[in-house]
Chains A and B, each alone.
Chain A
Amino acid sequence: MTITVLNQGGKTALTGCAASSCGSSADALAQLPEALRAKINNHPCFSEDAHHHYARMHVAVAPACNIQCHYCNRKYDCSNESRPGVVSEVLTPDQAVKKTLAVAAAIPQMTVLGIAGPGDPLANPARTFATFRQLTAKAPDIKLCVSTNGLALPEVIDELCQHNIEHVTITINCVDPDIGAQIYPWIFWNHRRIKGRKAAEILIAQQQKGLELLVARGILVKVNSVLIPGINDEHLKEVSRIVKAKGAFLHNVMPLISEPEHGTFYGLTGQRGPTSAELQTLQDACAGDMRMMRHCRQCRADAVGMLGEDRGQEFTLDKIEQLDVDYAAAMVQRAQVHAAIEAKRAAPAPITPTAPLVTLNPQFRTSRPVLMAVASGGGGLVNQHFGEANEFLIYEASNRGVRLVGARTAGRYCHGPAQCDDSSAQRFAKILRVLAGCEVVLCAKIGYEPWQQLEAAGIIPNSEHALESIETAVAAVYQELSASGRFSVDSVATQRRSA
């Protein structure tokens, strides 16, 4: 008996999310050529399935930046915020190597070391490459990865390719300089500051050239785009088509973060970010042409751990300074842990005896698509207590199957106690906003009070599938509630009040 999991076997061509093109999930993985599969199999940012099992870290060795984006204000230092471009301390290459080895020994499922800022890694070539050089020699079992705005990419490509690098991310927000001029006020180019359309023109040309050069060398390229409503939203569909045509592997459309208190240009001028629904609609529109990343957490430039968690505080400089890591021993243990993870991934998922979604009962054909939020602590399982969940994976269930459409965080902008002394009512209101549009919450356990609060808000709590595989559980709940008529096309009774 099988559960239809979208992205599987290419059997259901969806509008917006053709099964074969949404390919970072487990089953689409199986369809990729062996060499490609090996490259992404344990990279949590390039493979949706890998992110349930493997961790990543960023080291903040690259503070300088050669361009200005309207969503960044270059004030890096904050321990309480979680968003790209923010770090607690800038590291020297030696400190970064020491930290990487310490984390790799303590968190053996950490497979990828990325340099993502807080500025642009390639605008700090000496610091970035010194880090890569040492790690290539000392930790050959760690994949190295870099994320760049692309301006300096063509000129450093030869040096970049000398290291143990198979993955590069380029942030490409536009391919039209008129749109670019509304996102990038200036760039630093050939020892001068260049402003306006001309700046965007140069940046776009360098990004596209860099993408072509990387693809020609067999490096997997992920393209990140920031969705800025009213500026590049429609345009990103064209970006997606073009980068796919040039050979990019994966496209990650991320929501603009523009809280006024961050003091960015967009924050100050009131440029809003997209709603979850707008983001999903655009991702679906792009997905007709391109593999889309749906599990990005927009992490800090010094994040450590599984996507969605940040254990950076365990590895601050003062804590790693005294450590003396025996990396040879760590590598043996890491290999064992990786083998165990792979054995677990290879084992067939325990599937509860439920009938296939599509064929079971004609009445499901009239059920509409439904969003469900899942509290998961990793491993691809429904295994987290509702009260402990700071983020939820959002799945869409429909009569075509189950697919991940995003991850939402309740505390994305702040994890610090100083700003986060919310009362439980405030906290719950925040969670409700995060759950906007979701009709079911799956978790391992949930207290009586939040259960009642969720129900009052029109959301169905469900803890009956604790420790089951997420996709199986979502499919089972969808079937059960469809059978009761809850999701029939005519029923809009479940639309809950907006938080």
Chain B
Amino acid sequence: MALTIIDACVNCWACEPLCPQQAIHAAKPHFYIEPTQCSECVGDFADPQCASICPVEGAIVDAAGVPLNPPGSLTGITPERMTALQLKRHAPTPLHVIE
């Protein structure tokens, strides 16, 4: 039973000081949870602390690979809308006609 930090991590450090088991370490390319130490906060807190402060959706997953903060849960932007927004961002800007 352990949580895992995956590639989406932005190395913001927020989780590191909160872990009651000191299982989280700064590492490359991103923070790392020592699986043998992680208790998922059972017995210490109602919610896993790392996942409760993590600002990035999908960056922390459980043993089954399911994100504790699924897409849309923190930003309120649904995955479909996020895709649309990103497409819009990368679309070529229309040329302005100068009079």
Using a CB–CB cutoff of 8 Å, the interface residues on chain A facing chain B are 63-66, 68, 73-77, 90, 119, 123-124, 126, 185-186, 188, 191-193, 260, 265, 268-269
In the complex, the answer to whether B13 meets A90 with C-beta atoms within 8 Å is yes
**Residue from B46, B75, B86, B89 with most neighbouring chain A CB atoms (10 Å):** B75
Q: Which residues of B contact A65 (CB under 8 A)?
A: 12, 14, 55
Q: Which of B45, B55, B74, B89 has the most chain A CB atoms inside 10 A of its CB?
A: B55
B76: nearest chain-A partner, CB-CB = A185
Minimum Cβ distance to chain A for residue B26 (Å): 9
Residue of A nearest to B89 (CB): A260
Say yes or no for B85: interface residue by CB 8 A criterion. Answer: yes
Known: A77-B11, A185-B74, A191-B47. A126 touches B17 (CB 8 A): yes
Known interface pairs A191-B52, A268-B86; A75-B17 also in contact (CB < 8 Å): no
Interface Cβ pair total, 8 Å cutoff? 65
Evaluate whether A191 and B46 lie within 8 angstroms (CB atoms) in the complex, with A265-B77, A269-B85 already known. Answer: yes
Interface check B66, CB cutoff 8 A: no
Apart from A65-B14, A74-B55, A193-B47: 14 A-B pairs, beta carbons within 8 A? A64-B12, A64-B13, A64-B53, A65-B12, A65-B55, A66-B14, A68-B55, A126-B17, A186-B74, A188-B52, A192-B46, A268-B77, A268-B86, A269-B77
The answer to whether A74 and B10 have CB atoms under 8 Å apart is yes
Q: What B residues does A76 contact at CB under 8 A?
A: 10-12
B4 at the interface (CB under 8 A from A): no
Assembly CA distance A74 to B53 (angstroms): 12
B16 CB–A CB distance under 8 Å: yes
By size class, the interface of chain B is: 20 to 34
Q: Is B2 interfacial (CB 8 A cutoff)?
A: no
Docked complex Cα distance between A185 and B73 (Å): 10
Q: Is the CB of B46 within 8 A of A63?
A: no
Contacts of A73 in B (CB 8 A): 10, 55
Q: Which of B17-36 contact A (CB under 8 A)?
A: 17
Q: How far is the CA of A77 from the CA of B49 in the complex (A)?
A: 24
Does residue B6 face the partner (Cβ distance < 8 Å to A)? no
B89 to chain A, nearest CB (A): 5
Point out the residues of chain A lying under 8 angstroms from B10, CB to CB: 73-76
Q: Let me know if A68 and B74 touch, CB within 8 A.
A: yes
In the complex the two chains form, what is the Cα distance from A66 to B12 in whole Å? 11
Note all chain A residues with C-beta closer than 8 A to B47. Answer: 191-193
* B61 contacts partner chain A, Cβ-Cβ < 8 Å: no
CA distance A124 to B10 in the complex (A): 17
Residues of A within 8 A of B52 (CB): 188, 191-193
Binary CB contact string for chain B from 74 to 99 against chain A (1 if under 8 A, 0 otherwise): 11110000100110010000000000
For the complex, give the distance between the alpha carbons of A65 and B14 in Å: 6
- Give chain A nearest CB distance to B17 CB in angstroms: 6
A-chain residues with CB within 8 Å of residue B17 when the two chains form the complex: 64, 124, 126
Are A74 and B56 within 8 A (Cβ)? yes
Contact A66 B53 (CB under 8 A): yes
Q: List residues of chain B with CB within 8 A of the CB of A77.
A: 11
Nearest-CB residue, chain A, relative to B51: A193
Find chain A residues with CB under 8 A from B16 CB: 64
Instruction: Check A265/B75 contact, CB under 8 A, given A63-B12, A64-B16, A191-B49.
Output: yes
Which residues on the B side are within 8 Å of A192 (C-beta)?
46-47, 52
Measured between beta carbons, the chain B residues less than 8 angstroms from A268 are 77, 82, 85-86, 89
Report B-chain residues with C-beta under 8 Å of the C-beta of A191: 45-47, 49, 52
Q: How far is the CB of B94 from chain A (nearest CB, A)?
A: 15
Give the chain A neighbours of B11 by CB distance below 8 A: 76-77
* CB of B52, distance to nearest CB on chain A (Å): 4
Q: Which residues of B contact A193 (CB under 8 A)?
A: 47, 52-53
**Which B residue sits closest to A126, measured CB to CB?**
B17
A74 touches B12 (CB 8 A): yes
Which residue on A lies nearest to B47, using beta carbons?
A192
- B11, B13, B16, B56, most chain A CB atoms within 10 A: B13
B46 in contact with A64 (CB, 8 Å) = no
Nearest residue, chain B, Cβ from A123 = B14
Q: Note all chain B residues with C-beta closer than 8 A to A185.
A: 74-76
CA distance A74 to B14 in the complex (A): 10
Chain B proximity of A284: nearest CB distance (Å): 31
Query: Can you list the 6 inter-chain pairs with the closest CB atoms, starting with the nearest?
Result: A63-B13, A64-B14, A188-B53, A193-B52, A74-B12, A64-B13
Chain B residues closer than 8 Å to A74, beta-carbon distance: 10, 12, 14, 55-56
